[in-house]
Structure 1
Amino acid sequence: MLQLTTATAADLPALCRLVNLAYRPGDGQAGWTHESALIRGARTSEAQLATVLAAPGQVLLGWQAGQLVACVHIEPASGYGYIGMLAVDPACQAGGIGKTMLAHAEATLASHYRLPRARMSVLAGRPELRAYYLRRGYLPTGERQAYPLDAGVGQPRDATLDLEMLEKPLVA
């Protein structure tokens, strides 16, 4: 059973470990959602995550047997809520945890923040991840953004790597 909580400063070490493990695992630890083939370097740091926790929004956490196994960041914006940093421990992937976390993020944006739609960005070089979100009702907006080279979230292995924006209407 997945227990859901909201991240606090005390969760930063475990949260940092989870996000880096899910996005940029070491050799032999790769899950299906990793992006190590496209980007090198850490996905995040405790300092970056502390900044996220201090900003408007929340980082929702998923726990199993006392272990942090999933997270997702939600941030209210003008007319929509941004969803990012959806991560599931590679050892726990393909069991529905990601779907549960995404649904919880969407529900929180709709009910708590009263936002009509969710937006997210996905790496354009990840067609399987894009397909995952399309199956969950997200649609391409036609917008693309350059990879954030100065954000401290790793360096693309291909200079043409960019982000595609997806959007989904929310039901309160």
Structure 2
Amino acid sequence: MTAGPLEIIRTERLRLRLVEPGDAAVYLEILNDPAFIEHIGDRGVRTLEAAVSSIENGPIAMQRTRGHSMYLVERLEDGRAVGLSGLIKRDGLEDVDIGYAFLPHYRGHGYAFEAAQGVVAHARLLGIPRLVAITTQGNAASIQLLLRLGMRYQGTRVVVAGEPALNLYGMELSEER
């Protein structure tokens, strides 16, 4: 009997687990969703093979080197993959940031907020002292989620040279810093 993917976080309705190459189809769907491309960016991942490579060089590699990454979000009720959420360390940011992206059909059900709350709790357990988030200036739903999560607007920041400035939000997770 083979063990399933490693669960990292469990909330009332969701399970966040390591992304695996076998998740390439849903990963490809998320990365090519028009809202993902508009608000997060076009990753240029267009085939299952490219999605497998992106998973191996992205979440799997980050989990191995950093001890955290983006996780696949599944509903507990039926195991259906609904999106991604987790922790990312970007070269353009000093702190670890929280990220999330959900398939269109699963937006508006509170899954992103529930997953993000679990990710914040997980970041605390990992001893991450400060958590940030970035979002495009026009992404009202994401901005509302970050504020509800307890993050505070920190201004704008160019994260990748040559790209537009993004809104930066932050929160302290520990008293010491």
Q: Work out whether the TM-score is over 0.5.
A: yes
Q: Taking structure 1 as the reference length, what is the TM-score of the superposition?
A: 0.69
Question: 1:73 aligned to 2:76?
Answer: no
Cα root mean square deviation, aligned: 3.1
> Counterpart amino acid of 1:165?
L
Shift of 1:114: 0.5
Structure richer in helix, relative to its length = 2
2:115 maps to which of 90, 101, 108: 101
Unaligned runs of 5+ in 1: 25-33, 150-158
2:168 maps to which of 162, 165, 169: 165
Counterpart in the other structure of 2:145 = 132
In the alignment, the residues of structure 2 paired with residue 143 and residue 18 of structure 1 have an alpha-carbon distance, to the nearest angstrom, of 26
Structure richer in strand, relative to its length = 1
- Alpha-carbon spacing, 1:165–1:44, altered in 2? closer, same or farther (3 Å): farther
Q: Structure with the greater relative contact order (CA < 8 A, sep ≥ 6): 1 or 2?
A: 1
SS in 2 for 1:114: coil
1:18-167 to 2 correspondences below 5 Å:
18-21=30-33, 24=34, 34=35, 38=38, 42-43=42-43, 45=45, 46=51, 47-53=53-59, 54-55=61-62, 56=66, 57-64=68-75, 65-75=78-88, 80-84=95-99, 86-111=100-125, 113-145=126-158, 161-167=164-170
Contact kept in structure 2, 1:7 and 1:61, CA below 8 Å: yes
Contact kept in structure 1, 2:39 and 2:139, CA below 8 Å: no
Count residues in correspondence. 148
Question: 1:17 aligned to 2:20?
Answer: no
Shift of 1:48: 3.2
SS in 1 for 2:32: helix
Contact kept in structure 1, 2:130 and 2:171, CA below 8 Å: yes
In the alignment, the residues of structure 2 paired with residue 6 and residue 41 of structure 1 have an alpha-carbon distance, to the nearest angstrom, of 22
Percent identity for Structure 1 against Structure 2? 18
